[in-house]
Amino acid sequence: MRRDVSAAAMLSAALIGPAELSAAQAEPGPGHWPPSMQTKKVAAMNAVRIRLASPNGESVTATLGDGPSARAFRSLLPLTVELTDYNATEKIADLPKRLPTEGEPAGVDPEPGDLAYYAPWGNLAIFYKDFSYSRGLVRLGRLDRIPDAFRRSAPVTVTIEAVP
C-alpha cells in the first residue's frame, strides 16, 4: 500500500477489501453513472446549438432543449423573422406555424436570455429582462448572451439556423 494514501482510502480498504477498493476507485464506465449524471450527460450530448444572425453581422448562439416544442421549432429552421419589442421585456416574432405543447409544463418563469414559445399567441419570445411566471409559455432554450440590439426598442431581423 502506498504511504500517501488518504485516511478515507485506508478506511475504505478496511471496510470493503482490497479487490473491491480498486473497482470502487476506478472511473465508472458508460451506463454506470448515477441516474442524475446520466441524464445530464445525455442532455449535453443531445443539445442542439443554433445561431441567430442579423444582417448587420451581429450573431448569438443558443442551446435548444429536447422537449416536443423545441424539437418542432428546430424543424422550422432555417427561419428568418423580424423580432419586435414587447413590453420592454422581450422580443417577439410570429412563427410560420404553431408548435405542439403536449408534454410541456403549463408555464414557466422566464429569465433574461430565455428563448420561449408563447402558445396562446403562437409566437417566439426572447427575454432580455426578467419576467414573472406565465401560463402558456414554453422554454425552448437559452441564449449564450443577450445581444445589445435585442435590448433596444427597434425591430431586429434575424436568421435562425442550426449550428453545424
Q: Residue 111: what pLDDT?
A: 97
Averaged pLDDT for residues 130-144: 97
Q: Hey, what's the cell of 154?
A: 427597434
Residue 46: its pLDDT value, please?
62
Contact indicator for 142, 115 with CB cutoff of 8 Å? yes
Residue 59 pLDDT greater than 90, yes or no:
yes
Question: Where do the DSSP E strands lie in the chain?
Answer: 48-53, 59-64, 79-86, 90-94, 107-108, 114-118, 123-127, 134-135, 137-143, 156-162
According to CATH, where is 2.40.100.20 located in the chain? 46-162
pLDDT band for position 75 (cuts 50, 70, 90):
very high
- Cα–Cα distance, 148 to 56 (Å, whole number): 12
Q: Please tell me the predicted confidence (pLDDT) of residue 55.
A: 84
CATH number of this structure's domain 46-162, picked from the four choices 2.60.40.1150, 3.40.50.1370, 2.40.100.20, 2.60.40.10: 2.40.100.20
The residue assigned the cell 476506478 is 26
pTM for the full predicted model:
0.72
Read off the pLDDT of each residue in 137-143 and give the average, rounded to a whole number. 98
